[in-house]
Chain A
Amino acid sequence: MNNVRSIASHDPLRGIRVAITGGTSGLGLALVREMASRGAHVAFVARNRERVANVAREHPATHGIVGDVSRKEEIHPIAMQILGRLGGLDVLVNNASSLGPTPLALLGDTECEEFELALATNVLGPFRLTKALLGALVASAREGRAAVVLNVSSDAAINAYPGWGAYGASKAALHHMSRIWLEELASEGVRFLSADPGDMDTPLHALAVPDADPTTLKRPAIAAAELADLIAAATAQRASADAPSAHATLAGDVTARIT
């Protein structure tokens, strides 16, 4: 994947307008850093005002937005700030995730409210935010720019791991939703990617598997670089796709599994 960067004399991410949810910790924070360092215009969303301010201070060119994607009434204010501050949108990364119950619980021991929170954060949040930003993404495609939505998935979306019920089921729904979005919007020029970044040394993973040996886990920065390359490849394909039929050939490549 790294050859994308070395071959291109001009990084396709330069000047691209990117919004990243869950941008103050783990993979999201690494993505903010990676995208900003590659010249993208970045807006990131997270719940905690102080942490948003800290990350924005650390990366002065980025725009920090305080908001909770699991809450319906916060979606449009978030979308409005993304579009206002970036002047449009080329790439949306739905990264913010909820594990559901912590510590992880068997489904039989999972409270309905915990399952609902996982669905609200991992499925409804990305659905609502994507829907609110769809006009901007399609406008971007129409104007010959990139239009990519990357939904951060998990191998728990595919494999049935005991104890990962709320998380796995919600990520499975997100993954399937990505595939349907792609089918419905390929003709509008919007690409949907569903990518599994692998097991990473992040706060979310520490919550899920507190006794995991961090040295066996992937560094979020590595995963972020891989995801950024994946987005760069998708935007480059979009930029060179001048015939509508070119989008159709991309349709098969829904899941990019990165390990």
Chain B
Amino acid sequence: MIAASEPRQRPLDARLLVVDRKGKIVHLVRTDLVDFLETSDLVIANDAATLPASLVGFHEATAARIEVRLAGRRSLARDDVTRFTAVVFGAGDFHTRTEDRPLPPRLAAGDRLVLGPLTATVEATLDHPRLVALRFAESPDAIWEGIARHGRPVQYAHVPAPLALWDVWTPIAAGPAAFEPPSAGFVLDWRNLAAMRARGIEFATITHAAGLSSTGDAELDARLPFDEPYAIPQTTAAAIRRAKRQHWRIVAIGTTVVRALEHAAIRHGSVRAGHAIATQRIGPRTRLRVVDAIVSGAHEPGSSHHELLRAFVDDRTLRRVTDALVAHGYRTHEFGDSVLIARRAVCAGRHCSNAHVDRATTLHV
């Protein structure tokens, strides 16, 4: 697939590949999304705003230049911004592919990192030369200010122009929680939200601290996604209960929504409101309890995002999707095109029923 190199959130003519319940592939444009949704759909998006999680500075002991990418946090509590897990790179910036970035100087517990107005202490190294637990010295207000003013959005070499926060905040961005944009949400805008409402399609949100999508380090990437805190509002949990009762489809905008909702359902059997940390991986062996369809970016095989899609459809269908994305020149990465994949209908003989209907009954016994 072609890497999308312009920081434009899904232009009106951005493409949308749809896999319907029968596994049929249809090529549409972004604005067709609302037409493809059904009046009995509940669409759920991640409203996390994206932190400028890339902080440049130096390692105090060696004066070596470093870039710290904040990558994880224990909770979404507004004062809980003192401790982060972080990936540390050596000198250089995003223009160099992360694969080619040098390691930082050898880091040890107690090392101080000076990051613009902020100072962070390495609390622990986490079994990898790039991965550390950090603790900022400042007050929560000063940490918020330091990140807001000194931080830059995490960025990769395939987009050459420096990103600004407005490039990475989705139109519905609310709580600043994500380390990289929940970019499936770029497909939304206020016009299609209004169009959904007009068609009787329900819309709700969760907040999920979407983590780094890649570090360029195969060993670290194999550990992705890291644990991610999320919050499900009361109104969203209630909307899901209502939708399930009425056998509506739950359409997740993005992999993070799937991870949060399915994590909540593992814990309680159904989605409850509240705060928690998603720790699970989703892949071909995952039984989805909540989500019936996903809108996602056009991901390449091997990535954790692509693994997650295997929970929705069989590998043969996904291979057809990948072939179609390549053959039709779809663009991948944050600012690329989208896919909508509905779970395969369960077929017995000539009769196909909707998988989610069967599941809904089992959920509410």
Contacts and interface: CB of A to CB of B under 8 A. Distances in A.
Nearest to B172: A135
A79 B52 CA distance: 12
Contact of B165 (A63, A77, A88): A77
A76 B164 contact: yes
B165 A76 contact: yes
A139 B149 contact: no
Given A63-B141, A73-B164, A76-B166, A81 B148 contact: yes
If over half of A's interface residues share one DSSP class (helix, strand or loop), that class is named, otherwise mixed; here it is: helix
A83 B49 contact: yes
Given A81-B144, A84-B81, A87-B78, A135 B174 contact: yes
Contacts of A211: none
A87 B79 CA distance: 9
B172 A139 contact: yes
A87 B147 CA distance: 16
A139 B169 contact: no
A138 to B, nearest CB: 7
A65 B145 contact: yes
Contacts of B164: 73, 76
B204 interface: yes
Interface of B: 47, 49, 51-52, 77-78, 81, 140-141, 144-145, 147-149, 164-166, 169-176, 190, 193-194, 197, 204-205, 233-235
A135 B166 contact: no
Contact of B169 (A76, A138, A142): A76
B128 to A, nearest CB: 28
Interface residues on A, range: 20 to 34
Contact of A142 (B77, B140, B145, B204): B204
B141 A85 contact: yes
Interface of A: 63-66, 73, 75-81, 83-88, 132, 134-136, 138-139, 142-144, 184, 187-188
B165 to A, nearest CB: 4
Nearest to A144: B235
Contacts of B165: 76-77, 80
A187 B200 CA distance: 13
A77 B150 CA distance: 9
B235 A84 contact: no
A86 B145 CA distance: 13
Nearest to B50: A80
A80 B51 contact: yes
B175 A136 contact: yes
B148 A139 contact: no
Contact of B170 (A81, A135, A188): A135
A147 to B, nearest CB: 11
A151 B140 CA distance: 29
A142 B173 contact: no
A63 B78 CA distance: 12
Nearest to B194: A187
A142 B81 CA distance: 26
A77 B148 contact: yes
A69 B275 CA distance: 33
B254 to A, nearest CB: 14
B144 A84 contact: yes
A202 to B, nearest CB: 27
Contact of B175 (A66, A76, A83, A144): A83
Contact of A66 (B145, B171, B197): B145
